[in-house]
Structure 1
Amino acid sequence: MNLQSIIVANSIGIAVLIILQISSYLVRQRKKPSDRIFTVMITLTSIACASETLSFIADGRSFVGAHVIAVITGTLTYAINVSVSYLWCIYVDLRLYKEKSRLKKYYSWLGLPTVFLLGGLVLNLKLGFLFSFDENNVYHREPLGYIYFVSVFLYLGFSVCVRYRYYKDSAKARFFPIWMFLLPIIIGTTAQFLVYGISLAWCSVALGLLGTYMSLQNELSYIDPLTQLYNRNYMDHVLADISRKGTHIGGVMIDIDFFKSINDMYGHSVGDEALISAAEIIRKSKPAKSIAVRFAGDEFIIITKAEHELELMNIDKSLRTQLNKFNTSGRSEYQLSFSVGKALFNGTNNIDSFLNEMDDNMYSEKKRKHCRSTA
């Protein structure tokens, strides 16, 4: 690959990243840790695209400052290489588990190889055991320099293991197609690993980040922004798939009793807090491999694999237990109460009938409570 092609490839990468940075502005306003990590990866990748281009421009040249530029840009590119790989692992974990507590538990030790490799780059400035330059300022990759490429694949492999473990233990929707990020990088990095003189790695990282952002947008379209449960659009998608496959499932519809009185007495901001609290109770009550949906307003649905009514009764029991814990905790100035309706889908009956049965059963309980409250 000649210099002109290298400049074009990395310029495309920078252009993609600039567009990505602008497009993700609203997402970044959420100020979630995963969004911050994603922004850092975009920034570092942009720097790497520019740095690598400069390193090729300086390679084998003898103009004033060429050697200094070559050394600095080469070191910077190696450093960003391993740093972005490590940050990607953190990003994957935050996107999936959404728990900052896991970072200290698992990723402090996972960062030790990165610290070690960054230290190696500092030593390389003096010893030249990773990469070096001859008297003509021509770059030479030393055998130990391949460790940095290997580290990238190890970190990427670790992220795949994290994703596999998560989806094995969870029924969450697979909005995070990790291979959209990994495949371009694997192809580009492998090519650059095998043949010095081509520049595809950082442009491929830019494309991978773009694919990741697209998957994030897909996820946001299926998540209720207030409760962070799935929304009705996603439930319709799931139920259509279930109907097509004829899968046996159970459904539990939940409605917050006297929700209007909470809004009237305490205001809509407290009403929103009540919805968030209800979602938290439902999330804690549902089986591991099931989905919880904000169906409409103050109505929620749990969809789970089930063959018998007893399985749905256990969910109902769990809901009552978590509800009692919330009401006796003194966390809020209001009390929550649920009306619950259950139904089974045997794979042959109509999805609308399944939803209507849940709705009818739920309203039967709600009607009894309202009758008692006015008696």
Structure 2
Amino acid sequence: MLVIQMNIFMVLLLSLVAVHAFSKLPRRTHVEHRVFLALLVLTMLMLILEIFSVVLNSPAFIGFITVHKLVDTIGFTLTPLVPIFALLFIRAKTGSCKNINRKIVLWLGVPLFINTILSIGSFHFNWIFTITNENLYLRGPLWFASPLTSYFYYAANLLLLYKARNKFQREELFMLSLLILSPGVLSVFQLYFFVYLTLWNSIAIAVVVNYILIVQSQIKIDPLTRLGNRAAYDDQLEILSRKENLVLTVVNIDMDNFKTINDTYGHQEGDKVLKIFAGHIKEVFDGKGVSIRLGGDEFIVLVNENRKEIVETYIKSLKSSIKAYNENSGMPYQIKFSYGMAIFNSSYKDVHELVRYSDKLMYQEKNKRTNQSR
């Protein structure tokens, strides 16, 4: 009864979180938000299935043996999807969802496929679980396949989190690890003692905690351009300063004659220009680095690259993109920008010195362009 009460409470809590998340989180432009919402809904579904499984596991409901089998079949089939969506969530937060190797996807899909076949087959052949004639749940001869599948994905999560540890702050690492460690540890007790524990409740708590982290991260997003803001910039520099073999190029960007556009056509038009320009920056550098609006018409991109020719192709793409927009916008003004680029190496004392030098180069170019126009 306690398990049922706790599950019902967590379903209600997750329902409130889901309503808030669907109304507040930008989903079109943020893959991690879509993945997180899928994880949230899936966790709610697993809690509901466990409620039915516990309730039906009794001779009092002997007339519902088929329903009991169906509930457990769905539950065992969906169980590995929770760590899989946690894995996708972590990848999305690292910005590497677009660069998933097909061979890796294939290997990750094999355990899920096997578990799905065994789970569905258990309905008739009692492979993973058995429902007795008294409507009681028992483990089948292949019951170990389901937990092994989940542990495989938990291990993949831990490996990914370890490799990406330098991309997160300590607080983020702790909260993301809850999605892996809490179900991983509790499932050991559940398997050993053969009882219903608060496994899905622990995952639900981890999901809620990570939603708090997501809401906090929204504070680090510029509301106008949807790029990172000054707080995100400070956090990124803190993360980068902890890296040992740092691969980084800083690109400082400043719009030319933005004040003239603001004064001539109004602040509303100026805001529109900022949003358009930020959109082009994000389109070019998405997945290649972190794009940030420092304030006003000043932007900075922290690029995960140390080859000058590669970064220059990115900037060339930005220039081409802006040029194409100017030619087709039909506006009486043109969007222009100046930039400074600096690549980290041993000659720089730290990341802050690199940023200062890049900013200096940007203003040198800006002054040069201003003198030329005069």
- Name the CA shift for 1:143/1:262 in 2 (closer, same or farther; >3 Å): farther
Q: Aligned partners of 1:273 and 1:234: how far apart in 2?
A: 21
Query: Which deviates further from its counterpart, 147-156 or 104-113?
Result: 104-113
Q: CA deviation at 1:19?
A: 2.6
Q: Aligned partners of 1:226 and 1:270: how far apart in 2?
A: 11
Q: CA deviation at 1:114?
A: 2.1
Q: CA deviation at 1:154?
A: 0.7
* 3-state DSSP of counterpart to 2:135: coil
Q: CA deviation at 1:104?
A: 6.4
Q: CA deviation at 1:194?
A: 1.5
* 3-state DSSP of counterpart to 1:74: helix
User: Alpha carbon RMSD of aligned pairs, Å?
Assistant: 4.3
Q: Aligned partners of 2:25 and 2:259: how far apart in 1?
A: 34
Aligned to 1:275, which of 262, 274, 278?
Answer: 278
TM-score with structure 1 setting the length: 0.75
- Name the CA shift for 1:276/1:161 in 2 (closer, same or farther; >3 Å): same
Match of 1:74 in 2: 72
Deviations 1:323-359 (A, max 9, x none): 555466x3553453315487999769xx7x9988876
Are 1:150 and 2:148 counterparts? yes
Q: Aligned partners of 2:123 and 2:154: how far apart in 1?
A: 27
Q: CA deviation at 1:20?
A: 1.9
Match of 2:233 in 1: 235
Q: Tell me if structure 2 keeps the 8 A contact 1:230–1:294.
A: yes
Aligned to 1:92, which of 81, 90, 93?
Answer: 90
Letter in 1 for 2:295: A
Aligned to 1:14, which of 8, 11, 16?
Answer: 11
Q: CA deviation at 1:272?
A: 1.9
Q: Tell me if structure 1 keeps the 8 A contact 2:342–2:354.
A: no
Q: Which runs of 5+ in 1 are unaligned?
A: 306-310
Q: CA deviation at 1:315?
A: 10
Query: Which deviates further from its counterpart, 147-156 or 35-44?
Result: 35-44
* 3-state DSSP of counterpart to 2:279: helix
Q: Aligned partners of 2:358 and 2:99: how far apart in 1?
A: 38
Q: Tell me if structure 2 keeps the 8 A contact 1:58–1:70.
A: yes
Q: Aligned partners of 1:244 and 1:112: how far apart in 2?
A: 37
* 3-state DSSP of counterpart to 1:337: strand
- Name the CA shift for 1:153/1:227 in 2 (closer, same or farther; >3 Å): farther
Q: Aligned partners of 1:133 and 1:235: how far apart in 2?
A: 56
Match of 1:57 in 2: 55
Aligned to 2:115, which of 114, 117, 121?
Answer: 117
Query: Which deviates further from its counterpart, 101-110 or 136-145?
Result: 101-110
Match of 1:370 in 2: 370
- Name the CA shift for 1:64/1:243 in 2 (closer, same or farther; >3 Å): closer
- Name the CA shift for 1:70/1:355 in 2 (closer, same or farther; >3 Å): closer
Q: Tell me if structure 2 keeps the 8 A contact 1:257–1:339.
A: no
Q: Aligned partners of 1:69 and 1:320: how far apart in 2?
A: 60
Q: Aligned partners of 2:149 and 2:365: how far apart in 1?
A: 59
- Name the CA shift for 1:95/1:193 in 2 (closer, same or farther; >3 Å): same
Q: CA deviation at 1:147?
A: 0.9
Deviations 1:256-281 (A, max 9, x none): 22234566679443442123224555
Match of 1:219 in 2: 217
Letter in 2 for 1:370: T
Letter in 1 for 2:188: T
Q: Aligned partners of 1:242 and 1:98: how far apart in 2?
A: 18
Q: CA deviation at 1:214?
A: 2.1
Q: Tell me if structure 2 keeps the 8 A contact 1:132–1:140.
A: yes
Q: Aligned partners of 1:178 and 1:124: how far apart in 2?
A: 33
Q: Aligned partners of 1:198 and 1:342: how far apart in 2?
A: 57
- Name the CA shift for 1:147/1:271 in 2 (closer, same or farther; >3 Å): same
Q: Tell me if structure 2 keeps the 8 A contact 1:6–1:199.
A: yes
